[in-house]
Amino acid sequence: MKIAVTAVSGQLGHAIASNLVASVGGENVVGLARTPGHVKGLDIDLRPGDYDSPDQLHASLAGIDAVLLVSGMEAPDKRIRQHRNVIEAAHANGVRKIVYTSIQGPEEGTAFSPVVQSNRQTEADIRASGMNWAIGRNGIYIEPDVEYIDSYKTVGEVANCAGNAKCGYTTRAELAQAYASLLTRPELDGGTYNLHGTAITQSQLVDYLNKSFDARLTYHEISVADFAAQRSAELGDFLGQIIGGIYEGIRLGAFDNPSDYQAVTGRAHQSWDDYFGSL
């Protein structure tokens, strides 16, 4: 089976393609990227895969049996059309199966909700595509908090609007294993799966960060408006408001869901003790 993975220039797409190379062989994996020449560390067939170019996608998906569609990063209204370009090109080429990296999150009432709704639309488009399908709904990556440790140490705290609610975090490596399973295990076809590890609070996350990095951080709950403003000042209004909405979603319980990770992969998600112990 020839499997194509989109957006392999990004971290998640690259991780999924790497996992597939190890499990099914590099000769059976094709990577799509907007600029294939920028992709490093993947010894596979690399083809152009700009979500805004239907003709390019149609040519690059020739001879493919299954497609892994990594959710795009554009504004919600634009990403729906982009995802449809991939779905339509796959269908026109006779692709038998499509797997989508969707998200968990609040479906209404936050600045992140339009992004969630755009993913739900793509989920509906995939279910109606006529191809076999499987959908993963990712928890929140835990890596950004680890990568931000020096900034946290500078201010002495982790401050956001999540409050005491639990969040189902995950890692790109664990997601890569899950999506390899969704692509290669036909018994999982037709399912929508929550993919994350044990849900933890922000205070628990801070405890793990303190232990792993010899830090003395505390958790400080702030308002949604203050957190969104803080993130917007650093990252710009569009992304800052979305991140504020993500953490508001944590506060509302939208990321504290039953996990299907073990059902998908046949093993438990890596524990946070093991993950932080390996850093």
Q: What is the pLDDT of residue 7?
A: 97
**If 0-12 CB within 10 Å is exposed, 13-18 middle and 19+ buried, where does residue 182 land?**
buried
Stated as kind and residue range, the H or E segment containing 130 is none
Q: How far apart are CA 228 and CA 241, in angstroms?
A: 5
Q: How far apart are CA 98 and CA 183, in angstroms?
A: 8
H-only helix segments in the chain: 11-24, 54-60, 76-92, 113-127, 143-147, 149-155, 172-184, 202-213, 224-235, 237-251, 261-265, 272-277
- Any residues with CB less than 8 A from the CB of 73 and at least 6 apart, and which? 79
The answer, as to whether pTM is greater than 0.85, is yes
Q: What is the pLDDT of residue 252?
A: 98
How many CB atoms are closer than 10 A to CB 258? 9
Q: What is the DSSP letter of 200?
A: B
Are 249 and 106 a contacting pair, CB within 8 Å?
yes
Give the angle 80-119-102 at the CA atoms, nearest 5°. 125
Are 55 and 84 a contacting pair, CB within 8 Å?
no
Are 182 and 65 a contacting pair, CB within 8 Å?
no
Spell out the domains of the chain, with CATH numbers in brackets. Answer: 3-139+170-196+257-269 (3.40.50.720)
Q: How far apart are CA 20 and CA 8, in angstroms?
A: 12
Smallest CA-to-CA distance from 137 within 253, 15, 260, 244 is with: 260
Q: How far apart are CA 159 and CA 227, in angstroms?
A: 8
Q: What is the pLDDT of residue 17?
A: 98
Q: What is the DSSP letter of 117?
A: H
Task: Please report how many Cα atoms fall inside a 13 Å half-sphere around the Cα of residue 98, on the Cβ side.
Answer: 30
Helix, coil or strand: residue 141: strand
Report how far Cα 38 is from the mean position of its chain's Cα atoms: 21
Q: Which residues pair with 192 in a beta bridge?
A: 135
Q: What is the pLDDT of residue 134?
A: 98
- Summarised one tens digit per residue, pLDDT across range 61-112 is 999 999 999 999 999 999 999 999 999 999 999 999 999 999 999 999 999 9
- For residue 207, what are its two tokens? 């405890």
Question: Per-residue pLDDT for the chain (279 aa), expressed as one digit of tens each?
Answer: 999 999 999 999 999 999 999 999 999 999 999 999 999 999 999 999 999 999 999 999 999 999 999 999 999 999 999 999 999 999 999 999 999 999 999 999 999 999 999 999 999 999 999 999 999 999 999 999 999 999 999 999 999 999 999 999 999 999 999 999 999 999 999 999 999 999 999 999 999 999 999 999 999 999 999 999 999 999 999 999 999 999 999 999 999 999 999 999 999 999 999 999 999
